[in-house]
Amino acid sequence: MATEDDDDDVDLGISLEAVATVVDNARALQGKEEADPETPDEDQDSEAALLEEADDEGTEATLRAFIGELNEDEQVSLIALAWVGRGDYGPEEWDEARALAAERNDGRDAAEYLLSMDMLGDLLAEGVAAFGLSIEDVER
C-alpha cells in the first residue's frame, strides 16, 4: 500500500496563501497593540518601525474585509486552524474541529470571532505547522 505525503493527507479547505494573508495582518495588528511608542527603534526599517507607521484601523478593516470575502468553508477552516494552533484539537481531529467550527460560524461573523482571539496570527501559523506545513514558505 502506497503512502502519501503529509501535504496530501488533509485538505485544509483554504489556501496557504489566504492563511498567510490573515497571519500577516493579524501579526501587524498584534505588533501595533504591543508597540511601546516611547521606546526608540534601533532600526528605522525594522518590522516594529514599519508597524508604527501602519494605520492599525486600516489594517483591522482590511483583515475584517478579507475574512468576510472568504467563502464559508474557508472561514470554517480558519477557525478550526486557530483551534488546532491553540491545542484544542490535534491534526487527527481535523474533521471534528471543522464540524464544530461550522456550527460555531453558522449565522455569525467569523472575522469578529477570529479577531477576538489573542495571538491569532501565531495560532494560525501553529495550526498550519501541526499539519507539517509552513506559511513562512508562502510567497507574499
**Any domain includes 2:** no
For residue 5, name the pLDDT band (cuts at 50, 70, 90). very low
**Any domain includes 139:** no
**Any domain includes 8:** no
Say if pTM beats, i.e. exceeds, 0.75.
Answer: yes
List the grid coordinates of 87: 491545542
Instruction: Confirm if 28 and 54 have CB atoms less than 8 A apart.
Output: yes
Helices (H), 1-140: 6-9, 16-34, 47-53, 56-69, 72-86, 94-105, 110-115, 120-129
Contacts of 131 (CB under 8 A, 6+ apart): 6, 9, 10, 12, 84, 91, 94
**Any domain includes 124:** yes
Range of the domain at 58: 13-134
pLDDT reported for residue 138:
83
Q: Which of 38-42, 63-67, 79-83, 116-120 has the lowest mean pLDDT?
A: 38-42
**Any domain includes 82:** yes
Contacts of 96 (CB under 8 A, 6+ apart): 89
47 vs 26, residue with greater confidence: 26
3 vs 120, residue with greater confidence: 120
Total tally of structural domains belonging to the chain: 1
The mean pLDDT of the chain is: 83
**Any domain includes 1:** no
**Any domain includes 56:** yes
DSSP 3-state of 96? helix
pLDDT reported for residue 117:
96
One-letter amino acid of 40: P
**Any domain includes 116:** yes
